[in-house]
Structure 1
Amino acid sequence: MLDAPPSRPLWLWTLADLALLLVGFFVLVQATDRRALAKGLREGFGATAPDVTPDPIPLAVAAVGFAPGSASIQSDAGLIDFATANLRDPRASLRVSGGATGAGDVDPATGSADLLATDRARAVTAYLIGHGIAAGRITIASASTAGRTALVTVSFTGDPAVRTNP
């Protein structure tokens, strides 16, 4: 019977793989043009560029209060006037984010503060749309830690005809 040829130990191959992964990681971290890197990675995997809108720049904020555990608006505190006055500029939009405090301020059906915060944001959004604010000018953002409120932020989003793709 023939003896098996001498080979390198398995741990040596694993170490070489780890070193190559580490070098690749540092190349990605040190990339100066991250948009070009992201584009190259997307093209390499056959994906298309997502439709990306720029991050809005916040300009003004209004708050809507809620009772503990409720997503029913208590008072609008001039919210409609605030929204219509600030949306006269077509480059502005509204961003609604709901908040919940957690301790006792949770969704009654699920016990989730995040779900209650989302319901509050949806309630304010429906209220705005019901009072004539265009739905396309409103974005519901993730839940915030703003307490028992929904924050309505007027943001500068730029010219809607101009899109940027990374």
Structure 2
Amino acid sequence: MSDDELLADEAPARALWLMTLADLALLLVGFFVLLQANQQLDPRALAAGLAEGFGAEAPAAMPVASYGVAGFAPGSATPPGTPAGLAAWARAELRDPRVSLTVTGATDGTAADVDPRSRSATLLAADRARAVAAALASAGVPDARLGLATAVRPGRRQVLVTLAFAGEQGKKP
């Protein structure tokens, strides 16, 4: 008997389509389990659990748009004049309860662009963010929806106001 005849006599133990069908059925069961878990849990807790399971960090708010205030003098936290359009933009965008604003103060990282009292770039960046946030609050932007952050960005003495989609607030399924 030749090798070709031996191979022709052997039939596969399972049909290939049956294994593919079993894989698809398991994926479908997993999908339905995920849907059921989504109905039982807070969506943020579910996302955090999935991220933890895959060894990733939980997703933060998704940035959508930004508005910059530039032109700060080195070592100064005094805004060069907050654009009137910034306050109007912020008020209009915050009408949607699912969004939040983050005011990020930045320094350029040079020795001249530091807080004059403490010689700290991070404190100067925080002071810049607070100054712009205070200007927004005095223009009628709800300060409870403003977050503050700092950054060192080479070549940039600015404050960046970022609009982010934060999801449904206080709503549980």
User: Is the aligned partner of 1:89 residue 2:89?
Assistant: no
Instruction: State the structure with more CA Rg.
Output: 2
Counterparts of 1:127 and 1:163, CA distance in 2: 34
**Counterpart of 2:133?**
125
The answer as to whether partners of 2:62 and 2:165 remain within 8 angstroms in 1 is yes
**Counterpart of 1:69?**
75
Counterpart of 1:143, as a letter, is: A
**Counterpart of 1:136?**
144
If the length of structure 2 is used for normalisation, what is the TM-score? 0.60
Deviations 1:45-100 (A, max 9, x none): xxxxxxxx962111111111211111111022221012112112111110011000
Counterpart of 2:162, as a letter, is: T
Out of 61, 67, 83, the residue aligned to residue 56 of structure 1 is 61
Q: In proportion to residue count, which structure has more helix?
A: 2
Counterparts of 1:163 and 1:141, CA distance in 2: 28
| 1:93–1:85 distance in 2 versus 1, CA, 3 Å | same
Gapped regions of structure 1 (runs ≥ 5): 1-32, 39-52
**Counterpart of 1:79?**
86
User: Is the aligned partner of 1:149 residue 2:158?
Assistant: yes
Counterpart of 2:64, as a letter, is: L
Counterparts of 1:142 and 1:68, CA distance in 2: 16
**Counterpart of 1:35?**
49
Moved over 3 A (4+): 33-36
**Counterpart of 1:115?**
123
Identity %: 44
Counterparts of 1:160 and 1:91, CA distance in 2: 6
Matched length: 118
Deviations 1:93-133 (A, max 9, x none): 10011000122111111111111001111111111111111
